Amino acid sequence: MKSKAAYLTPYFLWIALFVIAPMALILYQSFFSITGHFTFANYEEYLSSSVYLKMTFNSIWYALIITVLALAISYPTAYLINQLKNKQLWLLLIILPTWINLLLKTYAFIGLFSQNGSVNDFLRFVGLGSHQILFTDASFIFVATYIEIPFMILPIFNSLDELNPSLINASRDLGASNWQTFRRVIVPLTMPGVKAGFQAVFIPSLSLFMITRLIGGNRVITLGTAIEEHFLVTQNWGMGSTIGIILILAMFVVMFLTRDRKNRGGQIR
């Protein structure tokens, strides 16, 4: 018991200093108006303003689309990579693009999607004519999904990699078709990975900001954009913190919905 306490100390110290303390600070600040008076007005404004409620709805909606798309693309990718010969190498190659600065990649996308960009050049070449690609919902969702895919592939790949092949063989021996094996054996056993991926993608997607402006042309406004603005432009840290608290609450809800229900670890003991 003692040794357990020793190696857990840094982790709990971290929770206390870098999670609970900042959270307390944000909560404290959310009760102050822009002029520095104690008030509940920030919460009242948030809950009564159609602008903020619409923004919240938008954020959740876009984050959901992005997460579902990322999952739809990542699961088969992770599954296929897991069957390749040098799978660890291929996995590294999936992570590698994330090491290039995000702003720079976004600028590259602007170059690709602009009126005279490569994509439009291609469309004209094929005879489809040029289109407005930038500043549309589609381009925003595309780029956001692009950014999040590696964060989804990794946990799914890990859970697939861990999968005991004898279980699959057993399923086949028992006469299950490929599809049945996939649906009844592989999918349930990789659920922890899918949940981890869902958390790693959905939660940050709620507070995307920079690409909402660069690719979305501020046609998509998320909670992250609003917080950014309140902290850096209006200097209304109270309102910014209030939205931050809302985001943290949303995260708790997501965590609750994707929690581990099977109680596996406890049963064995």
Partner 1 sequence: MKKKFHLSNLYLILVFAVLYLPILYLIFYSFNAGKTMDKFTGFSWQHYLTLFADTRMISIVINTVIIAVLSALIATLIGTFGALGIQQLRKRSLRNCILSLNNVLMVSPDVIIGASFLIFFTFLGIKLGFGSVLLSHIAFSIPIVVLMVLPKIDEMSQVMIDAAYDLGATKWQALTRVVLPAITPGIFAGYFMAFTYSLDDFAVTFFVTGNGFSTLSVEIYSRARQGIDLEVNALSTLMFVVSLLLVGGYYALTRYNESKKIHRARAAEEEISQ
Partner 2 sequence: MKKLMIILAGILALCLVLFGINYEINLKSGSDTKKTLTIYNWGDYIDPSLITKFEHETGYHVDYETFDSNEAMLTKIKQGGTSYDLTVPSDYTVQRMRRQHLVDKLDKSKLPGLRNIDSRFMNLTFDPHNDYSVPYFWGTLGIVYNDKFVKRSQVEHWKQLWNPQFKNDIMLTDSARDMMAVALITLGYSVNSTNYHHLQQASQKLDQLAPNTKAVVADEIKMYMEQNEAPIAVTYSGEAAEMMSQNSHLHYVVPSEGSNMWFDNWVIPKTAKHKKAAYMFLNFMLEPKNAAQNAEYIGYSTPNKAAMKYLPSNVRNDKEFYPDNSTVAHLQVYRDLPLKVIGHYNDLFLEFKMFKK
Residues at the site binding partner 2, with contacts judged by CB under 8 A: 34-35, 51, 54-55, 107, 110-111, 114-117, 132, 134-135, 213-214, 217-219, 221, 226, 229, 232-236
Q: Does 30 bind partner 1 (CB under 8 A)?
A: no
List binders of partner 1 among 244-263 (CB under 8 A): 244, 247-248, 250-252, 255-256, 259-260, 263
List binders of partner 1 among 72-101 (CB under 8 A): 73, 76-77, 80-81, 86, 88-89, 92-101
Contact between residue 258 and residue 201 where contact means Cβ atoms under 8 Å apart: no
Tokens of 237: 């840290």
Contact between residue 75 and residue 156 where contact means Cβ atoms under 8 Å apart: yes
With CB under 8 A as the contact rule, the residue among 126, 138, 174, 268 that binds partner 1 is 268
> Which residue in 147, 150, 160 sits closest to 193, CA to CA?
160
Q: Does 57 bind partner 1 (CB under 8 A)?
A: no
Closest approach, Cβ 6 to partner 1, in A, equals 9
Work out the angle at residue 244's Cα, subtended by the Cα atoms of residues 47 and 22, and round it to the nearest 5 degrees.
Answer: 140
List binders of partner 1 among 189-208 (CB under 8 A): 192-193, 196, 199-200, 203-204, 206-207
Closest approach, Cβ 73 to partner 1, in A, equals 7
Contact between residue 27 and residue 238 where contact means Cβ atoms under 8 Å apart: no
Neighbouring-strand partners of residue 32: 38
- Residue 18 carries which DSSP code? I
